[in-house]
Amino acid sequence: MSDEQNSQDPLRWQQLEFWLLLFHVSGLGPTRFKNLLNHFGTPEAILAAGLSELAQHVPERLARRIRMSASDAFVQALVRQDRLWLGSGHGQHHIIALNDPRYPLLLKAIHDPPPLLYVRGDVCALSDRQLAVVGCRQATRQASEVARQISHELAAAGLIITSGMAIGIDGSAHKGALEGGGRTIAVLACGVDVVYPQRHRGLADAISAQGALVSEFALGTQPRAGHFPRRNRIISGLSMGTLVVEATVASGSMITARFALEQGRDVFAMPGSVNNLKARGCHALIRDGACLIENAGQLLDELAGVNATAQGLERIRQGEIREPECPEQKRIIDAVGFDACHHDELIIATGLSSQKLAELLLIMELEGFIRSGPFGVTRIC
């Protein structure tokens, strides 16, 4: 059943409406929303909770706003706007909550997943294999062409290219994916009904027709400086890995790369001229262990291993966790957890010698329990 039909189905709409009522409460961000869900279980239970119980988890002023949300005229107006938008999309407008089976598992696994996603286009694309391609806005002509070409080849090979629809590298990546006959996803720092930058209006329409526009922000939200880092964590969170094509040391692309590392995803970087200040962010990433990439073929080879991690994460989310029988290997698995863990950290956590640990890690990688990468050891099952 499409979201357009859902907006007309009383039961389905009521379930989504609980989420929307909470979502539109001012001051209730993703982290607080998730904490409340962890305690109360469902949005219905949160809305039904007493003031004193809510105040144990959020500031009292916010607790009062939650209690009044069902009767707040402003909140109700926003919920009505959402329903009208859902019904006007001809099957291309979607609002998916954390409990929706269409919610992408990789994004759900990050520390602070958005409680709701507004989607314009193919909602199923969010759960397919994605690579984030990011870089600076004032990109060099050479870097823009490289981003366009590599995205063209990767999209033609079946990967979805995910980026932020900014001018520069982002726009080139989206265009390359479209030209390659593939799909692309743009994560926005504004509402999905707002086009930013304006010069990308045509590109936005093409992306929604051959992929999806995605936002965690309410309809009508205008872009603000603080929205872009939040957008960047979604770009990396949706993706198996992040490729930085060209970036200064202090840039949004470096923030995206940092989020990717925190989320246990791989980071790839393309080198540039030593005289190009806009390439220094990529060089810094490579010095810190990011995988140096020169062409699409190298990246596809690297992603063969990354895909194993993504599949392992999906099995974990579905409760299909496989553990080794050897006690020492199990000790290593417990120490690794589900984030990248360095060799030295594992020596301290397990008490094993460096040589013994190396032997066990090799066996475990061959048996498909872990994967070794530039940022350490990652569990894949």
DSSP state of 341: B
Q: Which residues contact 68 (CB under 8 A, 6 or more apart)?
A: none
Q: Confidence band (pLDDT; 50, 70, 90) for 313?
A: very low
DSSP single-letter state for residue 110: S
Q: What percent of the chain has pLDDT over 90?
A: 70
What's the pLDDT band for 75 if we cut at 50, 70, 90? very high
Question: Taking residues 135-149, what's their average pLDDT?
Answer: 94
Alpha carbons 54 and 128: distance in angstroms, whole number = 37
* Topology of the domain comprising 322-379: Arc Repressor Mutant, subunit A (1.10.10)
Structural domain boundaries in the chain: 3-90, 124-308, 322-379
Q: Is the pLDDT assigned to residue 11 strictly greater than 70?
A: no
Pairing of strands 116-121, 211-215: antiparallel
| pLDDT attached to residue 278 | 92
CA dihedral 23, 28, 33, 37 (to 10 degrees): -80
Determine the Cα–Cα distance for residues 154 and 303; give it in Å rounded to an integer. 11
Q: How far apart are CA 225 and CA 227, in angstroms?
A: 5
pLDDT tens for each residue of 238-269: 999 999 999 999 999 999 999 999 999 999 99
pLDDT at position 377 is 79
pLDDT for 322 beyond 80: no
Residue 197: asked if its preceding bond is cis (omega within 30°), the reply is yes
Return the pLDDT at 173.
98
Separation CA 361–CA 97 (nearest Å): 38
How does DSSP classify residue 297? H
Q: Which two tokens stand for residue 32?
A: 């607080």
Which CATH architecture group holds 124-308? 3-Layer(aba) Sandwich (3.40)
* Beta strand ranges found along 166-238 (DSSP E): 184-187, 211-215
Q: pLDDT tens digits, residue range 76-108?
A: 999 999 999 999 988 999 999 999 999 999 999
pLDDT at 321 over 60: no
Does 308 score more than 70 pLDDT?
no
Residues 6+ apart with CB under 8 A from 41: none
Q: Of the candidates 118, 117, 121, which has an alpha carbon nearest to the alpha carbon of residue 90?
A: 121
Nearest alpha carbon to residue 361 among 308, 347, 313: 347
Selected residue with higher pLDDT from 300 and 336 = 300
pLDDT tens, 145-173? Answer: 999 999 999 999 999 999 999 999 999 99
Q: What is the pLDDT of residue 323?
A: 73
* pLDDT higher than 80, residue 351: yes
